Structure 1
Amino acid sequence: MELAQGTQGKRYLMYISQNYSYAILRPLQQQIRTHGGEVKWFLEGSEVNPDFLAADEHRLHSIDEIKAWNPHATFAPANILPTFFPGKKVAVFHGFDAGKLNSRGKNDHFTIRGCFDLYCTQGPNTTGPFAQQAKEMGFFRVRETGWTMLDPLFSDIANNPYKSEADTRPTLLICSTFSKRLSLAPQLIEQVKQLRDSGKYRILVQFHPKMATEIVDQYKAMQDDTLTFIETDNVIPLLQAADVMLCDTSSILLMFLLLRRPVVTFNNQAPGPHILNVTEASEVEAAIDHALTQPVALMQEIEAFCQQLHPYQDGLSSQRVLAATNDLIESDGKELKRKPLNIIRQFKMRKKLGYWRF
């Protein structure tokens, strides 16, 4: 049976507030269009760049336009979404659970904020916690689909701009989250210079878009024929180009592991046998060199971890998300309880969006 059956004639809204969300939702957009559905985009806030919209991607500029268009469903790679939007609200996640803890020592990845009708989870280790909460709360569905952003990960990209046939050195990709408390970027500036100056690696650097400007500028100043700083709305070609990653607690490391390639982390908050974690700057280079040998025990741990994180390598996660969404639309989620009002949160959303009509 066609996974995306029932898409014909339906309207789907893509709700984004960060540039990286384009790459999360475009594989889903492709499936919707292929199966006869219509897609439009709503860009919330100042941190998403409208210039990244393609010529054939259509934007709605206001809540009134959204209500007039009346989407059947809205997809959001975010933690919250206005409940006053028409149609079903579907969470597709902006990353994996990387074990980050908030200031209260809690993992926000599994927090239910009463905004969504459907959570499309990435693999067994996230499906379980969400499914348990769905059973307890009763106002949303959970379906394990895999992650839309990864559909292209399992296909070779022709003419990948980050690969080099001429440079045979191993490619090191350095990524970091923006949180001062968790980020390796400010702590490893001197070590990265040493890695560059060693000449052993071809180095690509890519940071979270919220990284402090002064840190970004320091890394941009390091650029030469060995180290390149990259700003992009699509990290998949970068991941495919690298042999090893140096990271901290950013969830991007989990995407890289799914390519069955090793990751070295610096002060990772959730270290495990599937990564090589170091706690001293002086240990970084040796750990990278060890990772490049792809030790058998480490690679076995990576494989076991990936089976729990995201077992799908068929590139069909977007089709599964679309099928789960269409099923929710067709059934109207009649078994679900009414979502909590969340008056304070929705007031804040209305204030943020400048919308007060009811």
Structure 2
Amino acid sequence: MIKRYLFFVQQPYSFAILRPLQTEILSRGDEVVWYLNGKNVSINSLNNDEKYLTSVEEVKSYNPIAVFVPGNIVPDFFPGIKVQVFHGLEYKKQGHFVIRDFYDLYCTHGPLTTIPFDKLKEIHKHFEVIETGWPKLDPYVKNYQKVNNSKPVLLYAPTFSPSLTSALDLIEEIKQLALTNDYLIKVKFHPKMKQGWIKLYSEFKHDNFEICDADNIVPLIQEADVVISDTSSVVDESLIIGKCVITYKNSQPQACLLNFDKPENLTKMVKQALNLTPIQTQSIQDYVSQVHPYQDGNSSIRILEAVDKVISQGVKKKPLNLVRKYKIRKALNYFYLK
């Protein structure tokens, strides 16, 4: 019997997270469709062979067995179990462990997320937690080989949060790195970054400086020799792919990061990142084993197996949570109970 799945998407970064899962679903002869919600996403981001639905009625008729979401909310009135796959690996950010009573299954990435969610499961008792790994990384950790760049490529990927971003503090230092002609600087902004801040960077023109617009940052991380950030999900994604990461005023600095708090020290940190000691390399490996130990590229397989397990067990009754249910109905202009 063919299984039907649905992807509920509200942000551009969701496409790269879910497409490896789509590949696995289709390889099994099953079906999957996309449902895009909100002003931040458009059907123009879908590939020509990707199917999508545009109404609640179509979703109900399609009747998926599971709805996958890399975000905080999902329509409770959609058919199928609701599966949280997460929008990033940055477990340190506020809200990562908030239980919103929408989900039947949390697919965690490694011990640092599995253990806290297991504790929450014992408290709330209406969802399952299964460690699977993150589907976004599947194509990139399997058979990955580092590219030899003619000059070191530095990827700068600041977060958008005004209280955490390095975008304003480091702009002059980033320019100076490009001007040395020793490095190629690539900049990738978060979709929610303030346009005024992006403009400050886009006004700078140099052969060694490029602003990248692609939705998926992982190929940029793969190409880079060093990643520069602050407190962002990009940090963990980069570490897992084996990159050294420099962070500016990281909210929770750890041994696996080269953290600094004075902009003028950035050049020194770059030189250090390009010449890591064995101890620093080991600290990165130790951290990865806790955040995302899976390097086999099979997280999508484990997620689908987890879905089958939860469905066979039967879902548990969730709290009413009328306020959140009203908000999601308002967002989709759907005012029925089911």
Q: Same fold (TM over 0.5)?
A: yes
Gap change, CA 1:12 and 1:251, over 3 Å in 2: same
String of CA shifts for 1:21-63, please: whole Å, max 9, x gaps: 0010000011111112110000010101321101111110011
Amino acid at match of 1:305: Y
What is the CA distance between 1:97 and its match in structure 2?
Answer: 2.5
The whole-number CA distance in structure 2 between the counterparts of 1:332 and 1:98 is: 28
Whether contact under 8 Å (2:156, 2:187) holds in the other structure is yes
Distance apart, 1:357 and its partner CA: 2.4
Q: CA deviation at 1:298?
A: 1.0
Q: Deviations over 1:313-358 (max 9, x none)?
A: 000000000110122223323xx3x101110011111111111123
Decide which of 141, 146, 152 is 2:139's aligned counterpart. 152
DSSP-derived class of the 2:246 partner: strand
Q: Which of 8, 11, 16 is 1:18 aligned to?
A: 11
Give the corresponding residue for 1:345.
324
Are the counterparts in 1 of residues 155 and 188 from structure 2 also a CA contact under 8 Å?
Answer: yes
**1:132 is the counterpart of 2:111:** no
Question: Is residue 45 of structure 2 the alignment partner of residue 45 of structure 1?
Answer: no
- Secondary structure, counterpart of 2:107 in structure 1: strand
Contact preservation (8 Å) 2:246, 2:273: yes
User: Could you say which residue in structure 1 is the equivalent of 2:305?
Assistant: 323
Q: 1:156 to 1:46 in 2, by over 3 A?
A: farther
**SS of the counterpart of 1:75?**
strand
Rounded Cα–Cα distance in structure 2 between residues aligned with 1:319 and 1:127: 18
> Structure 1: any 5+ residue segments left out of the alignment?
1-7, 101-106
Question: Residue 204 of structure 1 aligns with which residue?
Answer: 186
SS at match of 1:109: coil
Distance 1:278 1:98, change over 3 A: farther
- The equivalent of 1:85 in structure 2 is 78
Question: What residue is the counterpart of 2:92 in the other structure?
Answer: 99
Deviation at 1:223, TM superposition (A): 3.5
| Cα shift at 1:98 | 4.6
Structure-2 separation of matches of 1:97 and 1:83: 26
Q: How many angstroms apart in 2 are the aligned matches of 1:224 and 1:13? A: 43
Deviations 1:238-287 (A, max 9, x none): 01100101101011110100122211100100101010110111111101
Tell whether the 8 Å contact from 1:21 to 1:77 is kept in structure 2 after alignment.
yes
Q: TM-score, normalised by structure 2?
A: 0.96
Distance 1:90 1:64 in 2: 21
Alignment partner, residue 253 of structure 1: 235
Q: What do residues 62-121 of structure 1 show as CA deviations (whole Å, max 9, x unaligned)?
A: 111111111111000011212111110000000013522xxxxxx311111100000000
Runs (5+) with no aligned partner, structure 2: none
Q: Which amino acid aligns with 1:346?
A: K
Structure 1 residues 172 and 75, CA gap change in structure 2 (3 angstroms) = same
CA distance in 2, matches of 1:97, 1:127: 13
Identity of aligned residues (%): 42
DSSP-derived class of the 1:347 partner: helix
The answer for the alignment partner of 2:261 in structure 1 is 279
Letter in structure 2 aligned against 1:355: Y
> Map of 1:108-123 to 2, 5 A cutoff?
108-123=95-110
State how far apart, in whole Å, the 1-side matches of 2:170 and 2:264 are.
10
Q: Secondary structure at the match of 2:255?
A: coil
Moved more, 48-57 or 264-273: 48-57
SS of 1:143 mapped into structure 2: strand
User: In 2, are the aligned partners of 1:98 and 1:250 still within 8 Å (CA)?
Assistant: no
RMSD of aligned residue pairs (Cα, Å) = 1.5
Q: Distance in 2 between matches of 1:151 and 1:187?
A: 34
* Deviation of the 1:213 alpha carbon: 0.8
